[in-house]
Structures are given as C-alpha cells and as structure tokens.
Amino acid sequence: MTGYDVVVVGGAGVDVTVLVEEPPAAGRAVQARAGWTGPGGKGVVAAVCAARQGGRVALVGRVGADAAGDQVLDRLTDEGVDTRYMTRDDGVRTEQVVMIVQPDGESRDVVLRGANAALRPEHVLAAGAALTSAGVVAAQLEVPQPAVQAAFDRAESAGVPRLLDPAPAQPVAPELLAMATAVRANAAEARHLTGAEVRDWDGARHAAALARHRGPSLVVFQAGSQGDLAAWDGGEARLPRRAVPVTDPSGAGDAFTGTLALGIARRDPAGRAVRRAAAAAALVTTAPGALPPLPTAPEIDDLLASGT
C-alpha cells in the first residue's frame, strides 16, 4: 500500500513508567505510586495517534529481533499502523526507556539505547514510494539525523510536506531544519534550533520568527508554562494549557506531532490543525501510559466543543 496520509520516521521501543512523589536521592529508594510497561517510543506514539483518528499511517523505524520488538510490532498492527517498513536488527536489542514521573508532570528519563540508533538512510529509503506519495512525512530524532535527512530529501523531491519534531533535545543540522516545512518543539528543543531562550509568548514568537526564516513555514514552539505558540504565513495562534487533570504527560508532545501531521496531510487550515493537536496533547496527559489515552477524533472534537 502507498498513498498513506502520514508516514512517520521515528523511534520505537518499550517504556517503563513509574509515578513517584519525588525522585530518589542518591543511595535511596522510593516507593512508586503506580507503574506500567508497554510499547512506546516517539515514532510509535505519533503513528498510533494519527491512526486512531482515522489516518492511513505507516511507521519507518527499527527494533531488535527480540520479544520486545515483537511486542512493539504486534501493538502497531493492532492499532492499524502499517509495519512493512519496520526493520529488525539481529545484533541490537529493542530500545527501552525508564520514565520517572512526579506529580507535577516533570519526568526524568533513563534511556537504554538500542535499535533506534541503528536506523540508517538505506533502511529509510527502502520505504520508496511511501515517502513520495504520503500526505506528510513526519520525523523525530530518537533515530539518527542522517536517516531523517534521507527521508526528508526523498519526500521533498516529490513535494511532500515534512514535519520535524526535534525531540529529544539536541543540536540539529541546519540543513535538516531547512528541509522541514513545519516544526514543533518544546522550549529546550527550540533553543537548539534558534539559539533563543523561550519562556513566554513573546519569547516563543521571537524564536518562531527565527525558525521560519531558516526554512519551515509553520512553527509551533512551547511558550514556557503558558502553552504553545503557533506561527505561519499570515497567521498566529496562542494555545494555552487546557484545564485537565494531569496524570502522566509522557506522550503529550508525540500526540501533538501525530495529530498535527494528520492535519497537514488532510490540508486543514493551520489554525484548525494546531488547535486539534493541542487538544490531543491535553487529552493524553489525563490517563497513565503513552498509548492507552491517545484520543480518537470525536474525543478531540468533544474537548474543543467543551471549551475546557
């Protein structure tokens, strides 16, 4: 199958999440309030999020030839995400992440690197026509930047929009940012992209202007604790934090990316696309785990209609 709405190039793995009152000090143990284990990774969450909203989605990534890799691929299939472009590595384990989440939503992550780091350009380019016929190619940086650049280069050659989510925060090659038609980032990632500190609406607006000057026409940057600011040709939107009870924020950014990708693929107006993405990000924080609370399109509609 080709002609996907969304092709995601990104990380896949297994997440171990624990909720604690406070992180352990050196040499001490703390009792977790709750915990769970399941498939995760930024690419997996974004892809499943778009699929739950009715998108035709494929994921391009890499897992190990192990039980964890089986678990990831089985869950993707169950969620309706095409896994034919997922490759397996006999010599490297599937990546694992331990996330320690505090009541205020702050988290500390410990990453056991694995097959994500082994995704190479030739693996991505094997997706071929999927990259050149998609509604959008979205990518995150849990996989090496050369692999993302290869995907964007192929998509750009066919005029396919490219959405960059530069997470986790790291220096980004200028040529990769220049290839993106859209970018969404938190404050730390925005600093890597632009060199600007972002703490509020004005800082986000300034950083977004810098980023748009370097390539993307649509930019969404976190405005500190106030929310997100979106800027595009001829428009801007403030996306304040929604008043929802936060249980686990670990998948919020990836849900934003998956929903925004689907909006771009469907050629939604920028204002509608970013508002739906912000609503999806809010909903995913209200229940534990990254995949279980990912919303459907009607659930996003209901939150937007509620005015919460």
Q: Is 217 annotated as a binding residue?
A: no
- H helix or E strand, kind and range, residue 125: helix 121-125
Give the Cα separation of 30 and 113 in Å (integer). 25
Write the CATH number for 62. 3.40.1190.20
CA 88 to chain centre: 21
Q: Is 268 annotated as a binding residue?
A: no
Higher pLDDT, 3 or 203: 203
**Cis peptide leading into 269, omega within 30 of 0?**
no
Give the Cα separation of 57 and 257 in Å (integer). 13
What was the pLDDT predicted at 153?
98
Output the six-digit token pair for 264. Answer: 């771009």
Give the Cα separation of 30 and 297 in Å (integer). 38
Asked, for residue 1, whether it belongs to a domain, the answer is no
Q: Is 116 annotated as a binding residue?
A: no
Q: Is 236 annotated as a binding residue?
A: no
* Residues 282, 242 contacting (CB under 8 angstroms): yes
Question: Taking all residues of the chain, what is their mean pLDDT, rounded to a whole number?
Answer: 95
Output the six-digit token pair for 307. Answer: 């005015």
Q: Which residues are catalytic?
A: 254
Higher pLDDT, 26 or 50: 50
For 185-233, how does the pLDDT look when each residue is reduced to its tens digit (9 = 90+)?
999 999 999 999 999 999 999 999 999 999 999 999 999 889 999 999 9
- Residue 236's CB is within 10 A of a number of other CB atoms, namely 16
Q: Is 186 annotated as a binding residue?
A: yes
Q: Is 140 annotated as a binding residue?
A: no
Q: Which range is least confidently modeled, 70-84, 116-130, 260-274, 287-301?
A: 287-301
Whether the pLDDT of residue 11 is over 60: the answer is yes
For 172-183, how does the pLDDT look when each residue is reduced to its tens digit (9 = 90+)?
999 999 999 999
Asked, for residue 222, whether it belongs to a domain, the answer is yes
pTM, full prediction: 0.95
For 88-145, how does the pLDDT look when each residue is reduced to its tens digit (9 = 90+)?
999 999 999 998 988 777 788 899 999 999 999 999 999 999 999 999 999 999 999 9
Asked, for residue 96, whether it belongs to a domain, the answer is yes
Whether the pLDDT of residue 42 is over 90: the answer is yes
Asked, for residue 194, whether it belongs to a domain, the answer is yes
Whether the pLDDT of residue 1 is over 60: the answer is no
Q: Indicate the pLDDT class of residue 290, thresholds 50, 70 and 90.
A: confident
Asked, for residue 164, whether it belongs to a domain, the answer is yes
Asked, for residue 151, whether it belongs to a domain, the answer is yes
Burial class (CB in 10 A: 0-12, 13-18, 19+), 188: middle
Asked, for residue 27, whether it belongs to a domain, the answer is no
Q: Residue 159 belongs to what domain range? A: 6-22+33-306
Q: Is 222 annotated as a binding residue?
A: yes
Asked, for residue 63, whether it belongs to a domain, the answer is yes
What was the pLDDT predicted at 2?
63
Count of domains observed in the chain? 1
Mean pLDDT of 70-78: 98
Residue type, 269: P
